Structure 1
Amino acid sequence: MNKLASDLGTEKISKLLIKQAVPATIGILVMSLNMIVDTIFVGQWIGVLAIAAITVVLPIAFLISSIGMGIGIGGSSIISRALGANKPEKAFLTFGNQICLTVILAILFVTLGNIFSVPILNLFGAKGAILPIASEYFGVIIYGVPFLAFAMMGNPVIRAEGKPKFAMYAMMVPAVLNVVLDILFIKVFDWGMYGAGLATSLSYASCGLYILYFFLSSKSELKIIPKNFKLDFKIVREIVELGGVSVVRQGAISILMIVLNYSLFIYGGEISIAVFGIINRVMMFALSPVLGVSQGFLPVAGFNIGAEKNDRVKETIKKSIYFGSIIGTIIFIGIVIFKEQIIWIFTNDTTLLDKTPNAMLIVFLVTPIVTMQLIGAAYFQAAGKAMPALFLTLLKQGIFLIPLAYFLPMYYGVNGVWWSFPIADTLSTIITIIVLKSEVDKNLQ
C-alpha cells in the first residue's frame, strides 16, 4: 500500500479533508470556468441565443460523459476500500475493468448521439431559433466527449490513490486551454459557434490525454495492465451498482433540463432559457467549494470504512458537513451582495440584466444547507451501499425538482421555475438528515 493512501487511515481528519478537498475544489472551480468562459465569450461575441444553445447542448454532453464519471466513482469506492483492507490486487483489477467499460460505452453513446442529434436536441429544448445554433455547437463537441468520459473516470481514481493534486492538475489543463482557444477561434478567427465547440472539444481531449499520461507514468500506483481489461462480472456489477448512482443522477439532471427548458420556453421564451443559462453557470462555479468538500470526503470515508475505523468515519461526516455549511453560507452572502455585478460579466443585454439577478437570488436561497445532501449521498457511495445512495442522490433533481419545475409554473409563471429550486433543496435536506442519522446510529456505533 502506498504511503499517501495509508495516510487516509491515520492522519488527522480535518487535515485530510483540507488536503483532499482543496485540490478537488480548485479542480472543479477551474473546470467550471471552462464552461463559464464559453458562456461569457459567446454571450459577448455571438449573442443571447448562443447562451441558450449552450444551455441546451452541455447537459447532453455531460449525460454521455457521466458514464465515465459513474464508472470512476463506482470503481474508486471499490479501490478505496480495497486499499483500506490491504487488497491491492482487487484495486488493480477494478481499475482495468473501469478503463474497458469507459471506452466501450463512451464510443457507443457518442455514435448514437451523432446519428440522432436533431431529435435529441429537440428533446432537450432546442426549439425555434435555438436549434441551428445548438446543432452547430453539438456537432463539434460530441467528438471530445469520449476524452471527457475517460477524464471523469480517471479523476476520482487518482483521488482514491491519495493524490488529489494530480486530479486537480487534470482539471486545470483543459480550462486554461479552453480560454486561449476560445479567444483564438471566436474572436480572432471569427468561427462563431463552430469555434466555441472546437475549443471545448480540444480542451476535453487535453484533459483525457493528461489523465492517460498520469496512469502511464511512474506517478501512479495503479498501472494500465491489459490483462485486467477482461471484464470480471463481480467487479463490473459492483461498479455499475455504485457508479450507476452518478449516472442516474446525471440522467435525472438531463430530464430536469428537458422539463426546465420546456417550462422556461413556454412561460418565458428563449430569453428565459438564456437567463437560466447564466444562473446555471454561476451555480456550477459558486458551488465548486461545496462539491470539493464532498469529493474530498469520498476517499477519506471510503478508506476508513474499509479499515473499519468507525470513529474516523463519523468524524469525517461531521467535519465535512461543518466545513461545507460554512462555505455555503459565504457563497450565499456573496450572491446577495454581488448578483448584479455577476450578470454583467456574461452579457450587456438589458433584458437579461433586468431579469436574471432576482431569479438567481431565489435559486441560491438555501445554499447554506446543501452540503448535507451531498455528504449524505456520498457516505453511502463510499460505504458501497448503492440503493440508499441512489435514493438520496435522486431526491433533489428527480423526486422533488422535476415535478415542481413542471407544475409550479402553471400557477406562478416563470417565477414558479425559480422557486422550485429552494423548495426542492429544503425538502431533500430534511430527508437526508433523517436517513443519514439513522445509518450512523445503526452501523457506526
Structure 2
Amino acid sequence: MKKQSDQLGTEPIPKLLRNISVPAMIGMFVMALYNVVDTIFISHGVGLDAVAGVTIAFPVMMIMMAVAAAFGMGGASVISRRLGAQKKDDADKVLGNILFMILLIGAVSFIGAFTIIEPLAQLFGATPEVLSYAVEYLFPILIGSVFFAFGFTANAIIRSEGNSRFAMLTMVIPSILNIILSPIFIFVFNMGVGGAAIATVLSQGIISVIVLWYFLTGRSTLTIKIENLLPQWVIIKEVSVIGFPAFVRQSSGSVMMIAINTMLIRYGGEFYVSVFGIVQRIAMFTLMPMMGILQGMQPIVGYNYGAKQYGRMRETILLSFKVVTVISTFIFVLMIAVPAPFMRVFTSDPATIESGVEAIRIMFAAAFLIGAQVLSGGLYQALGMAKPALVLSMARQILFLIPLVLILPSFLGVYGVWIAFPLADILACALAAIFLWKDRELFFKKKDKDHTMEQEAKA
C-alpha cells in the first residue's frame, strides 16, 4: 500500500485514467445526487421559498469550499509532483501544513456562525421573505465547516497518491448518509431547512473520522506527523499559489450566484431565484462526469511531469480531452432535447417547470464546449503553472459570465441572465484554445527523462 502512488508512473494510461476517473465520477455523481435529493426534500417538505433561501445561502458554502479547494487542489498538485520525484518526506510536510490550515478555516467559520451570520446572508442577497431560511440553513453549516474543509481537501490529496477507490468513498459515504438523514430531520423531526443542514454536517463529520483513521493507520502513502502540523510558510505559500486558481474558480461561483440572484430578484422576483436554484442543481449534476475526468487526469499528469515522463503526460492529456468532448456533447443533446423530466423531479408546479425548461435550453446552448474549458484550467494547475491556471479559472465566471449577467438583463430582462451562460462558455473556450496553442511545445515536444539521459550518454 505504501507504494500505491507508483502506479501513476507505470500502468497503461487508458487503464489508469479509467481506474482513477470512474471512481471519482461515481463519487461526484453521488454527491450531485445528494444535492438534488436535498433540494427535492426541501422543496416538497418546506416550500419554494425555502429553496430560494438555501440558494441564497449556497454562495457562502461555496466560499468555504473555495478556501478548502485552494489547499486541496494546490496540495494535491504539489504532493503528486513530490511523489513523482520520490520526495516522500517533503510530501508528508505538505500534508501537515494543509491540515493546519484546515483547522484555522474551521475556527474562523465557527466564530462567524455566532457573530455575522445574518449580515452575511443579507450581503449575499437574502430578502426579508427568505432571510430566515437562509440563516437557519447557514448556522449548522458554519459550525461544522471544519468537517467540510477536511473532507473536501482530503479527497483531492488521496487522489494525488493514486488511491482512487478510497477517494470515491470519501464522497459516496457522506452523500448516502445525507440522503438517509435529511428526510428524517426534515419530515420526522420537523426541523425544516435547518434539519437538512444538520444532516449534512453529521454526514461530513462521520467521513472526517474515517479519513483521519485512513491517514493514521498506515493505509496512505502519506504520513501525518505532529511536527509537520507546525506551519512552514514556504510550503503554505507554494500550495496557496498553485491552489489559488481553484479558490478563484470556486469563489467566483459564489460571486456569480450573488450577481445572478440580485438580477433575478430585480427583473423577475423570488420565483426566478427558485427556478435558478433548481436549474443550478441540474447543471451541477451534468458537470460531474467531466469533473471526474479532470480529477483522474490531474494526479497522472502531475506525477509524470514530476518524474519527467512526458510521453505519458501527453497521452493522458489527449485522452482526457477526447473523453470530455464526448461527454459534454452528450449532455448538450440531452438538455436541449428533453429538459422537462429533469424539472419535474424537483417540482410539480407548471409555471416553475415551464420557466425552468426555457432556462435550461438557453443556458445549455453551448454546453458541448464546457468539457474542454474545464480541463484546460485543471491541466495547468496539475503542472504547477499558476498564472495560466489562474487566468483560465477566472475566465468563464469572472471575466465573462458575471459582466454579462450584470449587463444583459438591462436589455433582455430575466432572459439576459440565461443568455449570459452560453456566451460565457464560447468566450472561455476560445481563450483556453489560445493558451493551449501558445504552450503546445510544452505538451508535445518535451523529451522523457530516459530519452534525455540516453542522448547525454551518446554525447
Quick check: 2:113–2:143 contact (8 Å CA) kept in 1?
no
Q: Which runs of 5+ in 1 are unaligned?
A: none
- Point out the more displaced range, 328-337 or 94-103: 328-337
Q: Which moved more, 1:30-39 or 1:91-100?
A: 30-39
Q: C-alpha separation between the residues in 2 aligned to 1:433 and 1:64?
A: 31
Q: Shift of residue 107 of structure 1?
A: 1.6
Q: Is the 8 A contact 2:293 2:320 kept in 1?
A: yes
Give the 5 Å matches for 1:4-83: 4-83=4-83
Please name the residue that 1:104 is paired with. Answer: 104
When Rg is computed on C-alpha atoms for both structures, the one with the higher figure is 2
Q: Which stretch of the first structure deviates more once superposed, 362-371 or 162-171? A: 362-371
Render the CA deviation track for 1:240-278: whole Å, top value 9, x for unaligned: 101122112222111111111100110110010011100
**TM-score, normalization by structure 1:** 0.97
Q: Is the 8 A contact 2:9 2:300 kept in 1?
A: yes
Corresponding residue for 2:242? Answer: 242
Contact between 1:142 and 1:201, CA under 8 Å: does it hold in 2?
A: no
Aligned to 1:347: 347
Q: Give 1:223 shift.
A: 1.7
User: 204-213 or 421-430, which moves further after superposition?
Assistant: 204-213
Distance 1:442 1:191, change over 3 A: closer
Q: Counterpart of 1:230?
A: 230
Q: What letter is aligned with 2:288?
A: S
Post-superposition offset of 1:66: 2.3
Measure, in 2, the Cα distance between the counterparts of 1:60 and 1:204.
Answer: 17
Counterpart for residue 195 of structure 1? 195
1:351 shift after superposition = 1.9
Gaps of 5+ in 2: 446-459
Amino acid at match of 1:408: L
Contact (CA 8 Å) 1:66, 1:149: kept in 2 or not?
no
Q: Give the superposition deviation at 1:67.
A: 1.5
Check whether the contact 2:373–2:428 (CA below 8 A) recurs between aligned residues: yes
Deviation string 1:137-182 (CA, Å, 9 cap, x unpaired) is 1122222221000111101110011101101001111111111111
Aligned mates of 2:142, 2:154 — CA distance in 1? 19
Mapped contact 1:103–1:146 kept (Cα < 8 A): yes
CA–CA distance in 1 between the matches of 2:227 and 2:140?
34
Q: 1:260 to 1:122 in 2, by over 3 A?
A: same
Aligned residue for 1:400? 400
Deviation at 1:185, TM superposition (A): 1.1
Provide Cα deviations, 1:380-416, integer angstroms capped at 9, x if missing partner: 1111111111010000011000100010000000010
Question: Which residue in the other structure is 1:415 paired with?
Answer: 415
Number of the residue aligned with 2:448: none
By how many angstroms is 1:197 displaced? 1.8
1:183 Cα deviation from its structure 2 partner: 1.6
Note the C-alpha offset of 1:213. Answer: 2.1
Q: Does 1:149 align with 2:146?
A: no
* In structure 2, C-alpha distance between the alignment counterparts of 1:201 and 1:229, rounded to whole Å: 25
**Conserved in 1, the CA contact under 8 Å of 2:125 and 2:262?**
yes
Checking the alignment, whether the CA contact within 8 Å between 1:328 and 1:367 is kept in structure 2 is yes
Secondary structure in 2 matching 1:53? helix
Deviation at 1:60, TM superposition (A): 0.5
Partner residue, 1:257:
257
Percent same amino acid at aligned positions? 37
The aligned residue for residue 93 of structure 1 is: 93
**AA in 2 matched with 1:395:** A
Query: Which of 406-415 and 66-75 deviates more?
Result: 66-75
On the 8 A contact 1:314/1:440 being kept in 2, the answer is: no
1:134 aligns with 2:134: yes
Alignment match, 1:285: 285
Instruction: Count residues in correspondence.
Output: 445
On the 8 A contact 2:301/2:316 being kept in 1, the answer is yes
Hey, what does 1:334 align to over in structure 2?
334
Structure 1 SS opposite 2:439:
helix
Q: Secondary structure at the match of 1:219?
A: coil
Classify 1:110/1:387 alpha carbon distance in 2 versus 1 (closer, same or farther; 3 Å): farther
C-alpha RMSD of the superposition:
1.4
Is the Cα–Cα contact under 8 Å of residues 65 and 106 in structure 1 kept in the other structure? no
Quick one: distance in 2 between partners of 1:112 and 1:185?
24
1:442: Cα distance to partner?
4.4
Q: Deviations over 1:61-113 (max 9, x none)?
A: 12113222211111111111111111111111111111111111232134235
**Deviations 1:266-321, CA, capped at 9 Å, x for gaps:** 01100100111001101111111011011111101000110112222222111111
User: Relative to structure 2, which stretch is displaced further, 197-206 or 428-437?
Assistant: 197-206
> Structure 1: how far apart are the matches of 2:26 and 2:34?
12
User: In 2 relative to 1, CA 113–391 (structure 1 residues): closer, same or farther, beyond 3 Å?
Assistant: farther
Q: Moved runs in structure 1, 4+ residues, more than 6 A?
A: none
Return the alpha-carbon distance in structure 1 between the equivalents of residues 114 and 444 of structure 2: 48
CA distance in 2, matches of 1:71, 1:50: 32
CA distance in 1, matches of 2:48, 2:368: 31
Match of 2:219 in 1: 219
Deviation track 1:191-250 (CA, whole Å, cap 9, x = no partner) reads: 212212211221222232222222122321212110111222221110010112211222
Q: CA deviation at 1:2?
A: 4.2
Q: What is aligned with 1:376?
A: 376
1:115-126 mapped onto 2 (5 Å cutoff): 115-126=115-126
| Displacement of 1:120 | 1.3
Amino acid at match of 1:52: A
Residue identity in the other structure for 1:342: F
Distance 2:268 2:10 in 1: 54
**Contact kept? 1:68, 1:150, Cα under 8 Å:** yes
Change (3 A) 1:36 1:114: farther
- 2:77 alignment partner AA: S
* Partner of residue 207, structure 2: 207
Which residue identity lines up with residue 292 of structure 2 in the other structure?
G
State the TM-score, normalizing by the size of structure 2.
0.94
Q: Rate the CA distance shift 1:338–1:144 in 2: closer, same or farther, 3 A.
A: farther
Instruction: Measure, in 2, the Cα distance between the counterparts of 1:330 and 1:114.
Output: 46
Residue aligned with 1:346, SS? coil
- State the shift of 1:350 in Å: 2.3
In 2, are the aligned partners of 1:377 and 1:388 still within 8 Å (CA)?
Answer: yes
In 1, Cα distance between equivalents of 2:341 and 2:287: 18
